[in-house]
Structure 1
Amino acid sequence: MTRRLRTAIVVLAALVLAAGGPARAVEDPPPFGFVGAEVQPVALAEAQALGMEAPRGVFVRDLVPWGPAYRAGLRRGDVLLDYAGVSITGLQHLVSLVQGSRPEDAVPIARRRLGQEQSLSLTLIDYPPGWSVRTEATAVLPRLGLTLAALTPRMRERAGIRWGSTGLLVTEVEPESPAAVLGLEAGELVVAADRERLIDPAAAEFALAEADVLLVEGRRGFRLVVLDAGAEPLPPPVMAAGVSWQAVPGLGLVVLDVAHRTPGAAAGLAAGDLVTAIEGADGLPDADTALALAITPARLSVEGLDDAAPRMVALSPQPSLNLAEAVALIEPLGAAVASLTPPMRDSFTLRPSTRGVVVTSAVPGGRAAEAGLRPGLVIVAVNQRFVERPGDVSEELSAAMAQSAAEAVLLIEGAQGFRIVGLPLKDKAPVAPTPNLLQWQGEPAE
C-alpha cells in the first residue's frame, strides 16, 4: 500500500470517528473456562451404530487444535460421556456443568471411541480474543471500497461462518474497488492486519491503514493478502507436517492452516502463527525450509497473534500420502467419492487442511442423498474411523451392514464446518431429523 493511500485512509478514519463514528464491538467473555469444542446430540440410531444401547453424552463434531479439548485427547467424532465426573444427559446439562468451572480448572472427562471408553483430563483456559463479541458494529472504508462488521453470533449465523473462525466479516466489496482488486469477497473474514488480530471494526480502520499484509479466511481456508499492489507476489504456500506454510520474505513462515491428526496440530500451531527461526539453522526460514519440515524434525521459534513472547515448538515430520486419482462408486453409500488429490481439492474448492474423501456425485433417491450428502462435501470418518481413500469408506459401510446396523455415523465437512449425520443402511429407512445444534464453548443455548 502506498504511503499516500495509507495517510488518506487514516485521515478519513479520523474524520469518521470525530463525527461520532461506528459503535465499538465489545467482547464480553464469560467467567467460566473455554473448552474449545463444538458438540451436537446423539440420536438413538447413531448411538446403536456405535454399539450403545441408548443415547449417552454428546458428539464432538469439531475442535480447535490449540484448545484444551484437543490437547486432552478428544477428536472429532468422539462421544463425550462425562464432564467433571458427571454423566452428560444432554446439551443443556453439559452447559450447566461447564458454567460451574473456571479457567485453569483441571476437569476430568470421559469419551467413547471405537467401542472403548477412556478417561481424560483437560485444563480450561480463558476465552481467547474474538470468541465473545456481543456488540453489533460496522466500519465503512470508502477508500478501499470495503465494509466490515463485528462477528457476533447473529452475524456468524447469517453469513454461514464456520465454528471456530474469528475476525471481521466482509459484508460488502464495491465492484472495481481496491478491495475487489485485492481479491476480497463478501462473506470472508479479515482475521489480522500484519500481526494485529482484528475484532473491533472501529479499531480496524487504523490497523488497515498501516498494514502491509492481511490474514484472510475464505472458503479455501486462509491466505495472505498483500496490500501494496506494486509489491512482488508471495510464493505459493507449501504443505508440510500437516501445516500450510506461507513464506514471506523478510518475515519468515506464516501458518495458514493446520490439519487435525498431524504433527502441526500436535504442536499446537494455529493460523497466523509466525515462525521466525529454526533451531540450528541460519537466517529466516523460507519456502525451501518449509518443504524440509515434511521429512526433518525441527524446533521452531513461533510468535502467535496473541502471544506476549515467542515460544519454542517441537515439530515432527510426516510424509505425504500417496493418493490415487480414481473416482469410485460406493454402492452401499449411493454416491461416488474420491481421495483428496490436488486436482480434487481445486475442483471442489477445498481447504488444504481438509482430510477424508470428497463426494463427487450422489445417486438421486439413494442413501447418500437421503442423508443430505451432495457433491463437494467431504466424508471425514465412518463410525469414528477416519478415512482417506474410497476403499476405506466401502470397508466401513460393509462392516456395518454385516452387523445389520440401521445406520452408519458419518462425520462430514462442508464450507460451513463439520457435522455428524446418520446414513440409513436399510432400504426406505426413515432419517431422524437432526436436533438443533448447540455451538458449544460452554455458553447457554438460545
Structure 2
Amino acid sequence: DGDLIGVNSFILSRSGSSSGVGFAVPAAIVRRVVETAAGGGQAVVRPWLGARTQTVTGEMARSMGLSVPQGALVADIWPNGPAARAGLRQGDVIVSVDGRPAVDAAAVSYAISSRRPGDQIKLGVRRGGGEQTLTLRAEAPPATPARDQQVVSGRNPFDGATVVNLSPAVADELGLDPFLGRGVMVTNIGRGFAMNAGLRPGDMIKRVNGRDVATVKDLMGIIGAGGGQWQVTIVRNGQEVTANFRT
C-alpha cells in the first residue's frame, strides 16, 4: 500500500554489498522521536502498562482453556497505575491491543510504549472464560521516589559508585523490572573501592550492616556512620549476594 513501516538503521552483510540481513527502526517509534524533537523535547516519553506480564505458553493456554498459546498473562499490578485504573486484574490475559492480536508479552509492551501519553488504548481481555474490552489511558512511568542520583565517595565499599533510587521511570530507562521493589540501584562504577569490590551497574543494594536500604538517603546515612567493617547485600540477576568488606 506504500505505507512506511520502518527506517533502515544498518545491515549485516558478509560480502560488504547491500545484501544480507537488514535492520530498521519501526515507523511508530520514528514518528514518536520526530514529534518529540519537533516539539522541542530532549527525550521520548514512553508510556507503560503498569502491570507485570508474561507470555502465555502452551501449558498455560491448556490450563486456561485457550485454543492457542497467545497473549500476555497479567501477573502483577502496580498500585494506582494505568492497568489498575483500567480495571485489569491478576490472572487476566491480554489478547489484543486496539483490535490487533497480542502475540505475546513483548508485543503488548511495544504496543503500549509506542503510543503517546494521554492516548486511550483498547485492551481485549480474557477473564473467567469470557472476553471484554477495557480502556487504558497511556501514561509515563512515575518517577517516584525521586531519582536522587549521587556519586558515593569515602572509605566505604561503594566509593566511586553512582547510585539512584529505583522507580518505574528509572527501571524503564535502565531496562529493568519496575516490580523489583524499593531499593538503591547502581548505575555506574568509577574509580574507587566499588570497582575493586566487584560492584556492577545494575546491582541493587538491599542491606548494609544489617540495615535495610530503601533509598539513597538511607544508604548515605549508613555510610556516614562510618566503620571499617561492612556487610553488604545486593541483588544481582535476581539472586541475593552477601559479602563482607574491610576499608
Relative to the length of structure 1, the TM-score reads: 0.30
Q: In structure 1, which of residues 32, 52, 65 is the aligned counterpart of residue 46 of structure 2?
A: 32
Q: In structure 1, which of residues 145, 149, 159 is the aligned counterpart of residue 163 of structure 2?
A: 149
- Equivalent residue number for residue 50 of structure 1: 64
Q: Aligned pair 1:83/2:105, yes or no?
A: no
Deviations along 1:321-378, one digit per CA (max 9) or x if unpaired, are xxxxxxxxxxxxxxxxxxxxxxxxxxxxxxxxxxxxxxxxxxxxxxxxxxxxxxxxxx
**Secondary structure, counterpart of 2:143 in structure 1:** coil
Deviations along 1:126-162, one digit per CA (max 9) or x if unpaired, are 22115998xx97424659x9987335669997xxx87
The one-letter code matched in structure 1 to 2:211 is L
d(CA) in 2 for partners of 1:84, 1:29: 25
Task: Answer whether contact 1:104 1:123 (CA < 8 A) is retained.
Answer: yes
Q: Aligned pair 1:139/2:166, yes or no?
A: no
Distance 1:127-1:38 versus aligned 2 partners, 3 A rule:
same
Q: Aligned pair 1:107/2:121, yes or no?
A: yes
- Equivalent residue number for residue 211 of structure 2: 184
Distance 1:171-1:56 versus aligned 2 partners, 3 A rule:
closer
Gaps spanning 5+ residues in structure 2: where? 1-41, 186-204, 225-232, 239-247
- Equivalent residue number for residue 179 of structure 2: 163
Q: In structure 1, which of residues 70, 77, 80 is the aligned counterpart of residue 84 of structure 2?
A: 70
d(CA) in 2 for partners of 1:29, 1:205: 30
Pairwise CA RMSD of aligned residues? 4.2
d(CA) in 1 for partners of 2:207, 2:78: 28
d(CA) in 1 for partners of 2:175, 2:115: 26
Q: How far 1:92 moved relative to its partner?
A: 3.6
- Equivalent residue number for residue 30 of structure 2: none
- Aligned pair count reads 159
- Mapping for residues 42-441 of structure 1, pairs under 5 Å: 42-129=56-143, 138-140=151-153, 149-150=163-164, 151=166, 163=179, 165-169=181-185, 170=205, 173=208, 180=209, 183-185=210-212, 188-190=213-215
Q: How far 1:59 moved relative to its partner?
A: 0.9
**Secondary structure, counterpart of 1:47 in structure 2:** helix
d(CA) in 2 for partners of 1:164, 1:29: 25
Deviations along 1:394-434, one digit per CA (max 9) or x if unpaired, are xxxxxxxxxxxxxxxxxxxxxx6xxxxxxxxxxxxxxxxxx
Task: Answer whether contact 2:120 2:138 (CA < 8 A) is retained.
Answer: yes
**Secondary structure, counterpart of 2:211 in structure 1:** coil
Gaps spanning 5+ residues in structure 1: where? 1-27, 174-179, 194-203, 210-217, 219-415, 417-446
Relative to the length of structure 2, the TM-score reads: 0.50
Higher relative contact order (CA 8 A, sep 6+): 1
Deviations along 1:18-42, one digit per CA (max 9) or x if unpaired, are xxxxxxxxxx974232321111111
d(CA) in 2 for partners of 1:52, 1:142: 58
d(CA) in 2 for partners of 1:131, 1:205: 16
Distance 1:112-1:33 versus aligned 2 partners, 3 A rule:
same
